[in-house]
Chains A and B, each alone.
Chain A
């Protein structure tokens, strides 16, 4: 009989070796790199890889969190714990500050989200600390514009991505040379899939925020999906919160990531759920549904 393990296979360790190689190149080629940390499973994986790349030394760059103020409290708690646990330096900058300074304007209406506004705060943070490389946990299997991006992605003064002017990337030679004002976004887990990340978390016995596992939560139903009830969600009169058993497959802001009904309390069941899911990971991200090219447009503006 086929076991679950046969079905999911094992994590291909080659991917870990490649990611560690990329992280070491970042540390060697750049003067002021940073790791963009959201508290989600992909950036947690990056932190683990960075730990491995420089062990027994410490992670030689700070973790940077662009806090929208609309995060799940469980994620923030986890973020602070992980920074302490790894001894990495944590820098937090707030979207609220960008709004207060008049640099960003809060969206209005039922679907209001701060996801797009993050770009403003991110670009300001890059300028404040003069970061020349920002490591991100984006994966090419998530979204079709991301599928096109290089591992070292050069961004101009305004953080803009120009798909037509990407550098050829040959074998594993990474060219991180940039002009003053430019920066590089680096994606060490480009070639991992959602399943690879989960298999890795499992095999490495990594801690992840509790909201990835099944729990009871007040939610509302909107567009056929379950949304965590919070003060940040602009609810309509007929959207009445109720309690449900849910978990999150992907973690972004409370206003743009939907929950899935699930009883999965351990990682094997999570992996099984993903294998049989009819909806892709980003299907639970309302921000991607704004238009067919939502992600590409955000990336052109400097989004990571």
Chain B
């Protein structure tokens, strides 16, 4: 059974939580006790309808303010798929939580209020979807009930967004537009009779039909070693296995491999998962690999196929970053850079440009990047990292920056 990960995005009050509540409600994913709890909570709030957003806004502070602060992960299944939805905050203050929710998504649902049209947050969310290279973006024009279901309103929003889309789209990203009403459940799982002019699929229909090519399985093979398994028991006295999760590509028994960054070579003797031995393993598989010869390998080394191009050893490089911390990024400061499971020190030498998300234009010669800003930086690491360009191999091209003193994750970067 496959899993489709979705992230929602939109401004405050665009109705993200309501949309998710509606999806759950119409796919019969909410049990009776939870609906009863919703009914009584809605009544307590003096509402005359079922407030589906109460399903996902789980924190006291969220219910108090009626906004989503942090990502909630919501689950539902259809006979074909398991869905994981990251319900992410729309408030600009919590953009970093939105990036958190979206980093693993294959589909981004961006909500636009039909009455408001395109706002700056819409542009921000679109650029984050582009930065993360999320394969499919569905722009849901919500609250169509409040604009008398007018086709002209929908088309006006579509036209103004299309200009922005043209500037941010990258190759392979699918973008579609969908008029909906989350409150009344129109075009969510059922076609809306009020909008006969729209002949596209419902939201659930689009999700069910979406097939994403598993590009990672065909990218060059990368296996970061997480943990060296050495039981030293009687039965496994000489066993030395390299445990990890394959980040991209395919490894087969008998393949010649190279160890990065040391360059030593060997051959795969076995690929094991618990008590079973496998012939091959692909991107996403957590396995233990043993080699035919004794090689000095420890956590943080990466195995690649000797027949393929190595991941380059990067020491001086440039990257796009999204800043996630209240304390701004300032050049000259040293951070810890975590690439996959590897950590090294890194110094930001320069901020080469800052992106204005609303206009998709760049400003050169800036000296800080503040919370939620996106820019391009030049940096130098203490130890080289075996990273690919994010565009070519997303699984091996992203990193996080950690503040050495607070230990917080302060930025996310994408190797250019």
Which chain A residues have a beta carbon within 8 Å of chain B's beta carbons? 6-7, 9-12, 14-18, 20-21, 24-25, 27-28, 51-58, 140-141, 143-148, 154, 163-164, 166-173, 175, 177-179, 190-191, 193, 195-196, 277-280, 283, 292-293, 296-297
Contacts and interface: CB of A to CB of B under 8 A. Distances in A.
Interface stretch (B77-85, B309-317, B354-362, B378-386): B77-85
B391 to A, nearest CB: 15
A12 B3 CA distance: 7
A17 B32 contact: no
| Shortest Cβ-Cβ A-B pairs, 10 listed | A144-B58, A20-B286, A177-B407, A278-B32, A57-B231, A17-B286, A283-B33, A52-B274, A280-B31, A9-B1
A293 B243 CA distance: 40
A171 B79 contact: no
Interface of B: 1-3, 31-34, 37, 41, 55-61, 63, 69-75, 77, 79, 82, 84, 96-97, 99-100, 103-104, 226-227, 229-231, 233, 235-236, 239, 241, 243-245, 272-275, 284-286, 288, 299, 324, 336, 338-341, 395, 398-400, 402, 407-409, 412
A166 to B, nearest CB: 6
B235 A280 contact: no
A167 B245 CA distance: 23
Contact of B75 (A6, A171, A193): A193
B70 A9 contact: no
A275 B61 CA distance: 33
Nearest to A295: B58
A194 B63 CA distance: 26
B33 A179 contact: no
Given A24-B244, A148-B58, 19 more contacts: A9-B82, A17-B285, A25-B341, A54-B243, A55-B275, A56-B239, A58-B231, A145-B58, A164-B69, A167-B409, A168-B412, A173-B340, A191-B73, A193-B75, A193-B82, A195-B77, A280-B33, A280-B34, A292-B63
A16 B286 CA distance: 8
A63 to B, nearest CB: 19
B407 A175 contact: yes
A153 B340 CA distance: 18
A153 to B, nearest CB: 12
Contact of A21 (B32, B104, B286, B339): B286
Given A14-B284, A147-B58, A168-B412, A21 B226 contact: yes
B400 A175 contact: yes
Contact of B286 (A53, A145, A170, A279): A53
Interface of A is mostly: loop
Contacts of B82: 9, 12, 193, 196
A145 B97 contact: no
21 contacts: A9-B77, A9-B79, A17-B284, A21-B226, A21-B245, A24-B226, A53-B227, A53-B243, A55-B229, A56-B231, A56-B239, A56-B241, A57-B233, A141-B74, A168-B324, A168-B412, A170-B103, A173-B341, A279-B31, A283-B33, A293-B59
Nearest to B406: A179
B288 A55 contact: yes
A56 B235 contact: yes
B227 A7 contact: no
Nearest to A163: B59
A194 B127 CA distance: 35
A25 B226 contact: yes
A11 B398 CA distance: 29
A27 B227 contact: yes
Contact of B61 (A163, A171, A178, A278): A163
Contacts, number: 177
B3 A171 contact: no
A199 B97 CA distance: 31
A172 B412 CA distance: 12
Contact of B73 (A140, A145, A173, A277): A140
Contact of B3 (A15, A51, A58, A163): A15
Given A20-B286, A175-B409, A280-B34, A168 B99 contact: yes
Contacts of A179: 407
A18 B286 CA distance: 7
B51 to A, nearest CB: 13
A1 to B, nearest CB: 14
A45 B285 CA distance: 18
Nearest to B58: A144
B59 A148 contact: yes
Contact of A147 (B73, B103, B284, B339): B73
A5 to B, nearest CB: 11
Contacts of A25: 226, 341
Contact of B79 (A7, A11, A143, A172): A7
Contacts of B230: 57
Contacts of A297: 60
Nearest to B70: A148
A9 B82 CA distance: 9
B75 A141 contact: yes
B412 A170 contact: yes
A40 B319 CA distance: 46
A10 B1 contact: yes
B1 A12 contact: yes
A11 B274 CA distance: 17
B3 A147 contact: no
B387 to A, nearest CB: 12
B398 A163 contact: no
Given A21-B226, A283-B31, A296 B58 contact: yes
A169 B103 CA distance: 8
A148 B61 CA distance: 12
A171 B103 contact: yes
Contacts of A144: 55-58, 72
Contacts of A141: 74-75
B228 to A, nearest CB: 9
A171 B394 CA distance: 10
B274 A296 contact: no
A12 B2 contact: yes
B373 to A, nearest CB: 15
B69 to A, nearest CB: 7
A11 B235 contact: no
A160 to B, nearest CB: 14
A164 to B, nearest CB: 7
A171 B134 CA distance: 12
A2 to B, nearest CB: 8
Contacts of A173: 338-341, 398-400
